Each structure stands twice: as C-alpha cells, then as structure tokens.
Amino acid sequence: MPLKLSETRPEERPRERLFALGPSALTTVELLAIVIGTGTKSGDALEVARELLGEARGSLRILGRRPAAAVAGIRGLGRAKAARVIAALELGRRLNEETRQSGIPVRSPADVYRYCAPALRDLLVEEFHLLILDAQNRINRDLLITRGTLTSSLVHPREVFRPAIAEAAAGVIVVHNHPSGDPAPSAEDRAVTRQLVAAGRLLDLPVHDHVIVGGDRYFSFAEAGLL
C-alpha cells in the first residue's frame, strides 16, 4: 500500500522533495498533493490526490476536461481545492501554448496537427483558428476567430480574411476542433470550407487546408482532396 504523509520522513514528503530534487523528480500524485495542500479527516493530501487521479483514469488530460463542479465533488476536495487544481492545469495548458514556436514551416497536415493539437484537442467547446502563413509556408500568427458550434453564419469570410489581409498573409490554413474526439467533417464543416475557399480565390489569398482536430486524430480537407 502507498505510504501516507504521516508515515514518511519529513525529507521524503512531496514539498521537501520538490525543493531538494526539482519538480521533475516528483510523481504526478505528489505534484497534485502539493497543489491540493491539505487533506481531510479521512485522508491526507496524497490520498486525496490518488483518488482524484484515479477518477480520471490516471490521465491529466482527462482530468483537465472535467467540469469544475465534477472536480469539486470528488471526496476530499471541495470548491477551493478544486479551483487550485483546475487553475494549475490551465496554467500548464497556457505554458504549452507559449512554448509553441511561430515561424515553423508547414509541410503537411500532420505539421498543422502537431502545432494545434496541444491547444485544441481537449477543449470542451469548438474553436475556429486561422493560421497566417508567409511566402515560405511558415506560420506567422495563430488567431482565434470564433468560439462555439461551427456554422457558416458564425465563420463569415470577412472575419477570416480581414486579419489575413491585415497581416499580409501569403496564404492561410483554417483549423477547428471537434470536442467529441471524432474529426470526421460534418455537412456544416464542408459548407464553411467551400465558402472560405471560394472567397480566398476571389481575394487571391489561398486557403491551403482546413484541418479538424479530434482528440488524437485529425482530418485534412486537402489530404482528402476536398479543396
């Protein structure tokens, strides 16, 4: 059985180990225990952290998708501790976004997926992004155009091409996610893509691809020959 905090020597406890060895030396449960801070009468912070991670099948990605109320309802947490856990996961997501480099070349839809998936694959709502490309097919900017269910009225060509023209784009790639995890395009996805491709031709600003991120998979309209 895993040791309780009270059964470990002070220097072996998560906080002390973090300062002595650095955060990379700690297990996920130990890191969560530090975020949680204190336990309850029925279990210490390590036990609460084990239960929390167990509820998410050992996955921080699954935990990050849980609604705040569901996390707060886990035994030993409550609203204050759940808020700390959710905030820590969101900070990790934002750090990951910051470390994504601009100016990376796009050679294939897989490159687009690798660039966008960390930010999009675990979202609970749809986001529609515009990738601004330079003449060497490098990503200069990643712009959020809209958030919500994708419709042709929500993603109007003027909302897509106005920033593309302002940024002097040589071309664009549009990307959105399916929270269901299934990247297969819907009829609305196809309609939006046709509308954007047609507008791009009129403006002489090519839409090179529309990539749909669905969990650990993606769908590319260019790869499928649908542009």
pLDDT of 32: 94
Q: Are residues 13 and 122 in the same domain?
A: no
How sure is the predictor about 38, in pLDDT bands with cuts at 50, 70 and 90? confident
CATH of the domain at 81: 1.10.150
Tens-place pLDDT, residues 160-215: 999 999 989 999 999 999 999 999 999 999 999 999 999 999 999 999 999 999 99
| Residue 151 · residue 109 · CB < 8 Å | no
pLDDT at residue 49, as a whole number:
93
CA dihedral 21, 27, 30, 31 (to 10 degrees): 80
Predicted confidence band of residue 7 (pLDDT cuts 50, 70, 90)? low
Which of 60, 76, 79, 58 shows the shortest CA–CA distance to 68?
79
Task: Identify whether residues 46 and 120 lie together within a single domain.
Answer: no
CATH number at 149 reads 3.40.140.10
Is 145:128 a contact under the CB 8 Å cutoff? Answer: yes
**What does the pLDDT look like over 104-125, one tens digit per residue?**
889 999 999 999 998 899 888 8
Domain span at residue 173?
Answer: 102-220
Higher pLDDT, 112 or 21: 112
CB atoms within 10 A of CB 54: 11
The Cα 1–Cα 135 span in angstroms is 59
pLDDT at residue number 4: 57
The yes-or-no verdict on residue 82 having pLDDT over 70 is: yes
User: Of 109, 107, 127, 129, which Cα lies nearest the Cα of 220?
Assistant: 109
pLDDT value at position 101?
64
- pLDDT value at position 196? 96
Residue 225 domain-assigned (yes or no): no
Query: Per-residue DSSP letters for 38-89?
Result: --BTTB-HHHHHHHHHHHTTT-HHHHHHS-HHHHHTSTT-HHHHHHHHHHHH
For 147-155, what is the mean pLDDT? 66
CB atoms within 10 A of CB 203: 13
Distances in Å between the Cα of 16 and the Cα atoms of 5, 72, 82, 95 are 12, 27, 23, 24
42, 71, 98 - which closes a domain: 98
- The answer on 122 and 87 residing in a single domain is no
